[in-house]
């Protein structure tokens, strides 16, 4: 089963309209903020030698990020399908009920990939045997390269990007696996082209956001030095804007100097 490529490509390009779904954007930002706070708490606990508590906070951070992404995905899927976008509490409730399907589908796909890798490892071990070991190695090496490369390609292009949206569209775990199998057998080139377009859009968006943040931050740091009377070396202030803390200055070769913040 295939699909018209140009209409699908136009729908992918239309995904740049997704940030207008402010409720989904706020839900994603809120989830990442909470996950960031939990991650910082985990790092603080690890610095105090509380490894068990750090693992708990880290697990909570991953759970918040996972369910936050699924909550946002459900809201964006409503928008993509032309349905009324559900409220964030309703989306969170639905995410708590269906997000496990994503994990089940991913685990099933990874299990299949692991089985293929195990067979390849067994064949490589069998090349130790005399008489037919060398001919077997001559066959296994190129086949193994194709197998492992193909698995990585399928995971990056098909399984990773489409397992979540398939669940958000209402499929159960078995339906997700059937959908992925269909795309693998009958639509992998088209899917690869569409995902390449998605990755290009993500890269361009990331570059644009990075340019805005970095250029704006450095200009603001310069204005702060000139206008706010912050008696701090410019390099040190700009390093702080780029994310370096006092503990990082020594590692980066930048001397730490005192200053007056007014």
Are residues 151 and 197 both part of a single domain?
Answer: no
Specify the pLDDT at position 199.
Answer: 87
- Report, as ranges of residue numbers, the positions in the chain whose pLDDT lies below 50: 1, 251-252, 254, 258-262
Domain end position, chosen among 186, 220, 242:
186
Q: Cα dist. 211→18, 133, 201 in Å?
A: 21, 55, 15
Specify the pLDDT at position 77.
Answer: 87
Specify the pLDDT at position 86.
Answer: 87
pTM, full prediction: 0.72
Q: Which residues contact 111 (CB under 8 A, 6 or more apart)?
A: none
Specify the pLDDT at position 249.
Answer: 53
Domains held by the chain: number:
3
Closest CA to 118 of 82, 71, 151, 166: 151
Looking at the domain assignment, is residue 93 inside a domain?
Answer: no
Are residues 192 and 121 both part of a single domain?
Answer: no
Structural domain containing residue 150? 99-186
Looking at the domain assignment, is residue 91 inside a domain?
Answer: no
Are residues 104 and 159 both part of a single domain?
Answer: yes
The answer to whether the Cα torsion of 36, 56, 162, 166 is positive or negative is negative
Are 106 and 141 contacting, i.e. CB atoms less than 8 angstroms apart? no
Looking at the domain assignment, is residue 199 inside a domain?
Answer: yes
Radius of gyration of the chain (CA): 25
Are residues 82 and 2 both part of a single domain?
Answer: yes
Rounded-to-integer distance, Cα 212 and Cα 243, Å: 15
Specify the pLDDT at position 1.
Answer: 45
């Amino acid at each position: 089963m295939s699909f018209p490529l140009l209409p699908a490509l136009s729908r992918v390009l239309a995904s740049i309209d997704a940030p207008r779904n402010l409720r989904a954007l706020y839900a994603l930002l809120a989830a990442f903020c909470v996950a960031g706070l939990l991650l910082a708490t985990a790092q603080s606990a690890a610095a105090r030698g509380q490894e068990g508590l750090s693992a708990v906070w880290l697990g909570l951070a991953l759970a918040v990020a996972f369910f936050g992404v699924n909550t946002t995905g459900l809201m964006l899927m409503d928008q993509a399908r032309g349905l009324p976008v559900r409220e964030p509490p309703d989306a969170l409730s639905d995410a708590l009920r269906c997000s496990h399907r994503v994990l089940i589908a991913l685990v099933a796909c990874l299990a299949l990939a692991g089985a293929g890798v195990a067979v390849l490892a067994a064949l490589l071990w069998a090349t130790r045997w005399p008489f037919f070991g060398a001919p077997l190695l001559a066959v296994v090496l190129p086949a193994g390269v194709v197998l492992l490369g193909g698995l990585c390609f399928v995971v990056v292009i098909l399984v990773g990007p489409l397992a979540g949206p398939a669940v958000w569209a209402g499929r159960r775990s078995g339906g997700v696996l059937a959908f992925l199998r269909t795309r693998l057998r009958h639509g992998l080139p088209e899917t690869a082209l569409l995902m390449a377009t998605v990755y290009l859009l993500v890269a361009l968006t990331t570059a644009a956001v990075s340019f805005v943040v970095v250029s704006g931050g450095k200009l603001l740091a310069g204005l702060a030095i000139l206008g706010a009377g912050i008696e701090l070396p410019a390099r040190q202030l700009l390093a702080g804007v780029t994310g370096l803390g006092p503990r990082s200055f020594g590692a980066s070769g930048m001397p730490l100097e005192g200053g007056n913040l007014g």
